[in-house]
Each structure stands twice: as structure tokens, then as C-alpha cells.
Amino acid sequence: MPWEERNVTKAMLRKEFVERVLAHEKSKKALCLEYGISRPTGDKWIKRYRENSSCEELSREPHHRANRTSPEMEALVIKTRKENYDACALVVHTLLKRQGIPNVPCVRTINNIFHRYGLITPDASQAATPYTRFEKEAPNDMWQTDFIGHFALKNQRRCHPLMVMDDHSRFNLSCHAQYGETFGDTIL
């Protein structure tokens, strides 16, 4: 005959423990030992059962958050963001301060509000990031060096082309074939 399968939750075990204690089936100490809990924990579950007939875990979330941003302020932040679509948290913070609104949340809190209400997505963040191409004012102010990939040679070694380019004109000054990308391999 197969075993009877039961899906026993912690709350069911707690309730069973409390009912056995209240029925004086065994001593509280013996039952705590049997269930593998300490006596203070057993007392906690008995007290909670007597108060509201429940052995469920209570939420550990605080009942009140002292510094939570008010719903009115969150609505104002969202409204300001929607009026100035490309405005980041810093810009919204500055706009609200200039309007003379008291207790404006910090920039990080405004950014958290944007995330919470789905006003910032990874794709939008990537699209809003400007591409900055630096360029020196005159030729030969700065040269750039870079390895531009590598490929196999017939002698079973790898070729690592090292390119040197002028930053202003983007003129290729040299392209040397190297056997590696270490400092010793790249001394010209």
C-alpha cells in the first residue's frame, strides 16, 4: 500500500502544535522538543493563536513609513515628467524647486518614482544616451592605438593588427601586424 501524500505547510504544523498544547496532550516542553522549536517560539504561536486563531506568518513590512513620499507629491512628479518628456530626475527636481514647491524629494527618490510607474525603460534609457564623439582641435594633438581584431595565419599563429590613427583627421598613420597584444609584442 503506498504512502498517503500530504502537502503540509508550516502554518499547518504550527496549528497542529498549538492544538496539541491546548489539548494538554503532552507538556509544552516535550511538544516544543518534538517540533524542533524553542519554548519562546512555542509561546509566540500559542499567544498568536489565542489572539486571532491564526498561525500564519505576519507581514514584516512596517505598518507606517515615516519618510514615504506622499501620493500627491508622486502625482506631481509624474505630471512634471509627462509635461517635459525628456526630463531626467535632476531636471524634474530642479523644475519643482523653481516652482517653490516645499519638500521636493531628492533626485534619487524621483528616479525611483519614475521606475515604479514605468516611466523609465532600459530601451528608452539607451536611446536617450547621447553619442559623444571626441575629436581634438588640430592634427597630431592625439593619436589613437587599437587592435582591430585578429585572424589565423598559415603558420598556425594569430595576427593581431595594431592600428595607429590621428584623432582629428582619422588618418591611418600605421597598421602593424603583431603576434600578440601584450606590451612586449607591441613595441614598435
The stretch 41-67 carries a mean pLDDT of 82
The pLDDT score that the predictor gives to residue 1 is 47
Containing H/E element for 144?
strand 143-147
- Residue 31 or 11, more confident: 31
- Judged against a pLDDT cut of 80, whether residue 36 lies above it is answered with yes
The pLDDT score that the predictor gives to residue 114 is 92
Q: Which residues contact 81 (CB under 8 A, 6 or more apart)?
A: 87, 92, 114, 119
